[in-house]
């Protein structure tokens, strides 16, 4: 069972993925606890750079373990930041509006500013088991964003939001790779 806001910023260019960033702002998550965790993957010529950040290292490590378990169950969770030791970071929402969402992550090694803007109309999503998970019902408000920007240590990452095929299949309509699941709640049915 969990309740959280989950933001995803997934950028690509004509060659492929360039950057993936996600924030879990957890109100409640069984086995993990409350707090904030962020994951980052940057694609570059030398391979991928992956990092996991948490308000505490313990929180981030518990979230890494949960994500590994979800992948082993066949979940569509991206495989990133799962093997690297997590870093403690300040993770906070910056002043935003109805049209923008902006977050700052600061650790000893990184400063990340992630922003989402130009939202699509929100949609209410109710997905009883087994639509998304064999034994969990999901309820959330989904918001896709037409524009997003990721700045890591002062460098703006290349790429743009794109229509995400998995979400298009699940929702039955085009949906942005840069989105937020607000007040996402999952309830175990077993």
41-57 pLDDT tens trace: 998 777 788 899 999 99
16 neighbors 43 (Cβ within 8 angstroms): yes
Residue 110 makes CB contacts below 8 A (sequence gap 6+) with 40, 51, 53, 87, 89, 152, 153
Report the distance separating Cα 2 and Cα 126, nearest Å: 15
pLDDT at site 67: 79
- Name the helix (H) or strand (E) containing 165: helix 165-171
Highest-scoring range by mean pLDDT, 54-63, 72-81, 174-183: 174-183
pTM (2 decimals)?
0.89
HSE-up (13 A, CA, CB side) for residue 122: 10
- Name the helix (H) or strand (E) containing 102: strand 100-107
150 neighbors 157 (Cβ within 8 angstroms): yes
Cα angle 136, 139, 145 (rounded to 5 degrees) comes to: 125
Instruction: Note the pLDDT tens digit of each residue in 118-172.
Output: 999 999 999 898 888 788 899 999 999 999 999 999 999 999 999 999 888 888 8
Q: Chain-wide mean pLDDT for the chain?
A: 88
């Amino acid at each position: 069972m969990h309740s959280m806001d989950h933001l995803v910023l997934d950028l690509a260019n004509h060659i492929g993925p360039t950057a993936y960033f996600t924030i879990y702002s957890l109100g409640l998550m069984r086995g993990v606890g409350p707090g904030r965790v962020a994951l980052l993957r940057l694609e570059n010529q030398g391979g991928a750079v992956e990092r996991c950040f948490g308000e505490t290292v313990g929180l981030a490590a518990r979230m890494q373990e949960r994500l590994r378990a979800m992948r082993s169950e066949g979940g569509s969770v991206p495989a990133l930041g799962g093997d690297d030791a997590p870093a403690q970071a300040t993770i906070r929402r910056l002043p935003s509006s109805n049209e923008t969402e902006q977050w700052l992550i600061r650790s000893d090694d990184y400063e990340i500013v992630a922003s989402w803007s130009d939202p699509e109309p929100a949609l209410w999503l109710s997905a009883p088991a087994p639509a998304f998970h064999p034994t969990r019902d999901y309820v959330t408000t989904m918001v896709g964003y037409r524009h997003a920007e990721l700045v890591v240590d002062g460098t703006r990452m290349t790429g743009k939001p794109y229509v995400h095929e998995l979400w298009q299949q699940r929702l039955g309509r085009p949906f942005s790779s840069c989105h937020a699941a607000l007040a996402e709640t999952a309830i175990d049915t077993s």
